[in-house]
């Protein structure tokens, strides 16, 4: 089976959370063999989520498991606010993501030039420290796009990425968290799934479970790259992926 747990129906606010619009995502999912899908808006659009729309979709598509997730920006100091957010709806899962380093939206094309001339190792260190803090906050179920910092193709020189990720995996394992396999990296200059295959091998060897997500911001992107992501998991040895229901995990078969 295929799963897509990272879907932004509202994209960056340009669409409306209507039954007709979300329905196009569900139909696209069904066409692509995805039976487990989760809408995971950016938390800034929280107030635009309409549970009645999801309820209607669940009734119309009883063959599909339609979940409610949320992708939350982890920024130190926001913890209390995030705790409040998490209580606003009966979320099936919360994805914790780092999109900002000290206010720098590093994954946004308008700010990608700020990598130029910088110490990439220092940027990697800062990024993974923030991921580590998100994990230790205990606020999230899923770690979003683990190595997003590679988005524009910048690689560290002094250390391998494993150097930054290995201690983090220990904390993720200890926290019982899930790591997302996010195919959006294939659409970006790095042209690589988040996280990279060498990290997926480490994740498997630690016994950490994973989810799949395309980070679709439009129905056309739904499920894109997920067959490749699934194959990467099978190659690494995974037999199943994690599903969520009301913030409880269950293992789903990968094939
Ligand atoms: Zn994200
Ligand atoms: Zn996203």
pLDDT more than 70, % of the chain: 100
Number of C-beta neighbours around residue 6 at 10 A: 29
147-158: average pLDDT: 97
User: Can you say whether the dihedral through the CA atoms of 23, 26, 30, 36 is positive or negative?
Assistant: negative
Cβ atoms 242, 250 nearer than 8 A: yes
Confidence band for 170, pLDDT divided at 50, 70 and 90: very high
Of 162, 106, 172, residue with least CA distance to 140:
172
Return the structure tokens found at 28: 């696209």
What Cα–Cα distance (Å) separates residue 115 from each residue in 109, 110, 151?
Answer: 11, 11, 11
Whole-prediction pTM: 0.97
Domains within the chain, CATH numbers bracketed: 2-253 (3.20.20.140)
* DSSP per-residue letters across 113-154: GGGTTS-HHHHHHHHHHHHHHHHHTT--SEE-STTGGGTTS-
Judge whether residue 65 has pLDDT over 90: yes
Q: How far is the C-alpha of 52 from the C-alpha of 154, rounded, in Å?
A: 43
- CA 42 / ligand 1 centre spacing (Å): 8
Confidence band for 150, pLDDT divided at 50, 70 and 90: very high
Q: How far is the C-alpha of 23 from the C-alpha of 60, rounded, in Å?
A: 9
Q: What is the pLDDT of residue 196?
A: 96
69-74: average pLDDT: 98
- CA 27 / ligand 1 centre spacing (Å): 23
Residues 77-133 pLDDT 10s: 999 999 999 999 999 999 999 999 999 999 999 999 999 999 999 999 999 999 999
- CA 191 / ligand 2 centre spacing (Å): 17
- CA-CA-CA-CA torsion for 233, 235, 239, 245, nearest 10 degrees? 0
Residues 178-202 pLDDT 10s: 999 999 999 999 999 999 999 999 9
Number of C-beta neighbours around residue 171 at 10 A: 16
Q: What is the pLDDT of residue 36?
A: 97
Q: What is the pLDDT of residue 255?
A: 81
- CA 93 / ligand 2 centre spacing (Å): 14
Q: What is the pLDDT of residue 56?
A: 98
Confidence band for 226, pLDDT divided at 50, 70 and 90: very high
224-250: average pLDDT: 97
Ligand nearest to the CA of 5: 2
241-251: average pLDDT: 97
pLDDT more than 90, % of the chain: 99
- CA 51 / ligand 2 centre spacing (Å): 20
- CA 59 / ligand 1 centre spacing (Å): 29
Number of C-beta neighbours around residue 129 at 10 A: 15
Q: At what angle do helices 120-136 and 161-175 cross, to 10 degrees?
A: 0
Q: What is the pLDDT of residue 44?
A: 97
Q: What is the pLDDT of residue 1?
A: 79
- CA 235 / ligand 1 centre spacing (Å): 25
Q: How far is the C-alpha of 152 from the C-alpha of 189, rounded, in Å?
A: 5
Q: How far is the C-alpha of 164 from the C-alpha of 89, rounded, in Å?
A: 34
Confidence band for 242, pLDDT divided at 50, 70 and 90: very high
Residues 18-51 pLDDT 10s: 999 999 999 999 999 999 999 999 999 999 999 9
């Amino acid at each position: 089976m295929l799963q897509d747990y990272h879907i932004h129906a509202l994209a960056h606010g340009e669409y409306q959370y209507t039954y007709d619009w979300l329905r196009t995502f569900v139909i696209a999912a069904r066409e692509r063999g995805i039976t487990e899908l989760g809408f995971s808006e950016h938390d800034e659009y929280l107030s635009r989520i309409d549970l009645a729309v999801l309820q209607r979709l669940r009734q119309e598509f009883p063959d599909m498991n339609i979940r409610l997730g949320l992708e939350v920006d982890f920024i130190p100091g926001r913890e209390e606010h995030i705790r409040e957010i998490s209580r606003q709806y009966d979320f099936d899962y919360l994805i914790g993501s780092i999109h900002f380093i000290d206010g720098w939206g590093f994954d946004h094309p308008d700010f990608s030039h700020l990598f130029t001339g910088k110490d990439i190792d220092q940027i990697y260190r800062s990024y993974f420290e923030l991921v580590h803090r998100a994990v230790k906050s205990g606020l999230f179920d899923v770690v979003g796009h683990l190595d997003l910092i590679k988005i524009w193709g910048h690689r560290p020189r002094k250390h391998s990425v494993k150097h930054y990720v290995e201690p983090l995996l220990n904390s993720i394992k200890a926290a019982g968290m899930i790591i997302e396999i996010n195919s959006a990296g294939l659409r970006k200059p790095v042209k690589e799934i988040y996280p990279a295959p060498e990290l997926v091998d480490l994740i498997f060897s630690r016994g950490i479970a994973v989810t799949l997500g395309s980070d679709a911001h439009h129905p056309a992107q739904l499920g894109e790259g997920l067959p490749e992501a699934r194959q990467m998991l099978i190659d690494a040895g995974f037999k199943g992926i994690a599903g969520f229901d009301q913030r409880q995990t269950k293992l789903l078969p990968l094939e």
